[in-house]
Amino acid sequence: MKLRFDDDVEAFRAELLAWLAINRPSAAEMAAEPSVSTGHAPAWARRWTRTMFDAGWLVPGWPPERGGRNAGPIESLVYIEELAKARVPRTTNVQGLGIVAPSIIDYGTDAQIRHYAMPILRGEATACLGMSEPNAGSDLAALTTRAVLEGDQWVINGQKVWTSGANYADFCFLFCRTDPHAPKHQGISIIIVPMDTPGVTVRPLPEIIHPDQPDLNEVFLTDVTVPAHHLVGELNNGWAMANGSLAHERAMVWVNAVMGLEESLATLLVEAPALLDRLTPIERTLAVDQIVQVAIDTQAARCLGYRGFAKFARGAGAPEQALMKLYASEARQRVALVAAEIQGADAVVAGGVANDGHHAVDEPQGTWLEQYFHSFANTISAGASEIQRNIIAERILGLPRK
Amino acid sequence: MDFEFTTDQLELRANARAVLEAACPATVVRAVYEGTGDGTALWGQLVQLDWPGLAIPEEHGGMGLGMVELAIVVEELGRAVAPTPLLATLTQFVPLLREAGSTRLLQEIAAGTVTGTLALAEDGVWHRPRMHTTARRDGRDWVLNGVKSHVLDGTTADWLAVVAQGNDGVGAFVVPAAAVVATPIEVMDPTLPIATVLLNDLTVGGEDVLLEPGDPAAAQAIERALQTSVTAMACSTVASCRRLFEITLDYAKQREQFGRPIGSFQALKHRLADLYLAVERAASLAWFAALTIAEDDDRRAIAVAMAKAAAGECQRLVVRDALQLHGGIGFTWEHDLHFLLKRAKVGDGLLGTAACHRAHLAEFLGLAAPA
Ligand SMILES: Cc1cc2nc3c(=O)[nH]c(=O)nc-3n(C[C@H](O)[C@H](O)[C@H](O)COP(=O)(O)OP(=O)(O)OC[C@H]3O[C@@H](n4cnc5c(N)ncnc54)[C@H](O)[C@@H]3O)c2cc1C
């Protein structure tokens, strides 16, 4: 155990910081042309992703031809921390870079990698992830969007919902039922569907915060046909691939979540003196204890994250990592709530904070109450907190399913 | 930042666990509880294995290990509910000697021939702006007067490190057990026995004066020593909680009601998931605190307070649910569960509860009300 990173890791950090200082997009540039959906990549974002790709800074852990530099896991961790500190996103299309492109690279054909994964890495295309349906949320394997092979075409009918970025994305990584007779986990396949294919209709679903810039969508598919070679990986193996692709960034997603949490706390600590000054001594005592508790939560999230990561970096099993999504998202919710409650009546004022360039749920934006509402994005999506507790209990702790 | 233990550290943990499993099974703890035995044989074995010298520098006959290693061993004591003078000696007495730059008694402690403890708290408060216990100068000596509370091993330790208030500040002294009047307090957990210690015109001089009142470095040295004590108590408490959690998890898998294991009910699954999280949360904060002490990092004061607060928060949840999820069996004296339940509760009470350390944190974070 030690508090510092090795010298070579620090050298890596220094190189990254020097490169960022010269090449990063400015805050003004990003705010001038904000991304309005996770499927939307404004010109600055396309240029920036491309610049990172060319310099081997897009996904440092990957080889140079994929936009990386074969960096190790610790370097990759430092990389994510520094980008978050600098407040520059790698991409505005988080699903595309984080899940879709890596999955195509892992399971797709050479042609699929060329036509769909690489354009994402070069900032030329964006993708959305079509998994959830009206009747298949937490129980994702209940999905019913049907794909039938007719000759050399897939014919697809069904509906997706909560599809982030579908209103701007170029293609969808679509989970379909290809064998309705198999057990529900075994009849699912993944098919690439360009969003401009006839029969695809997108209806944005404005959210409770910033309804003017919807990111969520319903996607209706009516007799949509795509070539047979758009099937990714093996037929009826979609469930296994889904677990693989979601696992992709799991080792690292906690870093942004924790950095967002730390930023929220830091802001609260700056605002605290003025907020506390208005309170009576007893109110103040109650409020301070709440702030202290979320400060402990924040440090604990960092420590727990590093703990799991240290094992992961050694290639060992790291059960702590299964705790991070649950813990960091709920801690974030608590910070925003504590802050809003200390604001008291003033918390109700709407923020009208301008989009600073990109929609990153991990970055605190808006008023405390807005952040509080926004924080549910992370406690609901990608396995709600209740589902996380089920997973921890059954897979980590080995409790019987029934 | 590398937050994994080294192979040596993992080996130390495995060895310590094996030693305590053999030398301190629940029967030993029960004997202490029921007054039919004590920790003497266990102590003899630990001395033979050189445990008292763990964190004492090699030049004084010890092994020279650091705070992370000490934390590892202390965790095993908490896990085994071990009745041993090791905790008070190594994590309460020795740190004050060392922060004061004194080598007094180190050799004897490493050899296992003497034990020690810390007499600091008054009326159950460890952090006090001004002590009631006084140190009055008398020529080249100091005269101590006052009452110390919650002194761990207070009736059995050979030496006590006493913190007392002089006119110009706080000071620290070592005094032999024979010079004080120690009255045992009947406590819930006899594996962490405490006493009230009376100092009545006790004259201390020479090398027994660790830190003179008025020495500008005294207050900080005492604070730093106390950080080690607090972190160790956090480690011990979290380790007791981890063991409680493991036992409860096993029980939930094996106990059947309504024709199925009780651990298959989602209400209990979610509680067990939350217990697991509470244990890992508190453990990682305790290790972080140990690491900041080992590396003398400037975050140590905050890290230590967070560790003790989180340990207290952890035991609150784990003690409640471990007892509740065992049903009636956990409520009986015959079942061994209560040894851990009590050790975890007492671990919160000693050296400052969770709430007390959150109050310190309020000050460290600049949130305390302006005077
Ligand atoms: C901001 C955001 C972005 C999203 N982006 C995408 C996307 O890009 N692509 C995509 O496919 N999906 C996306 N989703 C969908 C998301 O994955 C689902 O919302 C999530 O899986 C929950 O499904 P549901 O909304 O149908 O809720 P339900 O599954 O109906 O859950 C309702 C409640 O019941 C609880 N519950 C359900 N089952 C159990 C159980 N077995 N035990 C205990 N409690 C249970 C849940 O935890 C929840 O509290 C997004 C969602 C959000 C909020």
Q: What pLDDT digit, counting tens, does each position of A314-346 carry?
A: 988 888 888 999 999 999 999 999 999 999 999
Q: How far is the CA of B284 from the centre of ligand 1 (A)?
A: 30
Statement to judge: residues B230 and B357 lie in one domain: yes
Please compute the mean of the pLDDT values over residues A189-211 and round it to a whole number: 96
Measured distance CA(A81)–CA(A325) in Å, rounded: 17
Statement to judge: residues B188 and B316 lie in one domain: no
List, as ranges, residues 297-316 from A with C-beta within 8 Å of B: 299-300, 303-304, 306-307, 309-311, 314
Contact (Cβ atoms closer than 8 angstroms) between residue B126 and residue B226: yes
Residues of B with CB below 8 A from A324's CB? none
Residues of B with CB below 8 A from A323's CB? 276-277, 280
Residues of A with CB below 8 A from B297's CB? 3
Which of B79, B114, B149 represents a domain boundary (last residue)?
Answer: B114
Q: How far is A57 from chain B (nearest CA, A)?
A: 22
* Whether the CB of A384 sits within 6 Å of ligand 1: yes
Contact (Cβ atoms closer than 8 angstroms) between residue A162 and residue A135: no
Domain that holds residue B149: 118-215
CA B22 to mean position of chain CA atoms: 22
Average pLDDT, chain A: 94
Residue A5 corresponds to which tokens in the numbers above? 């990173």
Query: Closest chain A residue to B266 measured between Cα atoms?
Result: A390
Q: How many CB atoms lie within 10 A of CB A348?
A: 10
| Domain at A7-92: CATH code | 1.10.540.10
Statement to judge: residues B231 and B339 lie in one domain: yes
- The answer, yes or no, to whether residue A136 has pLDDT greater than 70, is yes
* Whether the CB of A163 sits within 6 Å of ligand 1: yes
pLDDT tens track for B40-65 = 999 999 999 999 999 999 999 999 99
Statement to judge: residues B280 and B184 lie in one domain: no
Residue in A33, A82, A207, A249 annotated catalytic: A249
A346 touching chain B per CB within 8 A: no
pLDDT of amino acid A317: 84
* Whether the CB of A387 sits within 6 Å of ligand 1: yes
User: In chain B, how many domains are there?
Assistant: 3
Catalytic annotation present for A271: no
In 3D, which of B196, B206, B211, B195 has the Cα closest to residue B99?
B211
pLDDT of amino acid B229: 98
Q: Who among B269, B281, B362 is closest to A292 (CB)?
A: B362
Statement to judge: residues B43 and B109 lie in one domain: yes
- The answer, yes or no, to whether residue A353 has pLDDT greater than 80, is no
Please compute the mean of the pLDDT values over residues B199-207 and round it to a whole number: 97
Instruction: State which fold the A240-396 domain adopts.
Output: Butyryl-CoA Dehydrogenase, subunit A; domain 3 (1.20.140)
* Region of residue B141 (left: phi > 0; alpha: psi -120 to 50; beta: else): beta
Within a domain: residue B371?
Answer: no
A54 touching chain B per CB within 8 A: no
* Whether the CB of A136 sits within 6 Å of ligand 1: no
* Cut 0.95: pTM above it: yes
pLDDT of amino acid A246: 66
Within a domain: residue B369?
Answer: no
Q: How far is A111 from chain B (nearest CA, A)?
A: 41
pLDDT tens track for B216-228 = 999 999 999 999 9
Q: Evaluate whether A7-92 and A127-236 have a shared fold.
A: no
> Ligand 1: which atom is nearest the Cα of residue A377?
1
CATH number at residue B358: 1.20.140.10
Statement to judge: residues B232 and B358 lie in one domain: yes
Query: Closest chain A residue to B67 measured between Cα atoms?
Result: A1
Q: How far is the CA of A31 from the centre of ligand 1 (A)?
A: 31
Angle of helix B266-294 relative to helix B67-80, nearest 10 degrees, comes to: 140
CATH number at residue B149: 2.40.110.10
In 3D, which of B231, B67, B171, B320 has the Cα closest to residue A1?
B67
Within a domain: residue B370?
Answer: no
Q: Architecture of domain A127-236 in CATH?
A: Beta Barrel (2.40)
Amino acid, res. B2: D
**Burial (CB count <10 Å: 0-12, 13-18, 19+), residue A7:** exposed
Statement to judge: residues B200 and B224 lie in one domain: no
List, as ranges, residues 357-396 from A with C-beta within 8 Å of B: 386, 388-390, 392-394, 396
- The answer, yes or no, to whether residue A21 has pLDDT greater than 70, is yes
| Helical (H) or strand (E) element with B164 | strand B159-166
How do B141-152 and B194-204 pair as beta strands?
antiparallel
User: Strand, helix or coil at A317?
Assistant: coil
Measured distance CA(A1)–CA(B12) in Å, rounded: 14
- The answer, yes or no, to whether residue A384 has pLDDT greater than 70, is yes
Which of B91, B114, B137 represents a domain boundary (last residue)?
Answer: B114
> Which of A138-147, A186-195, A242-251, B10-19 shows the lowest per-residue confidence on average (mean pLDDT)?
A242-251
Phi then psi dihedrals of residue A189, to 5 deg: -130, 165
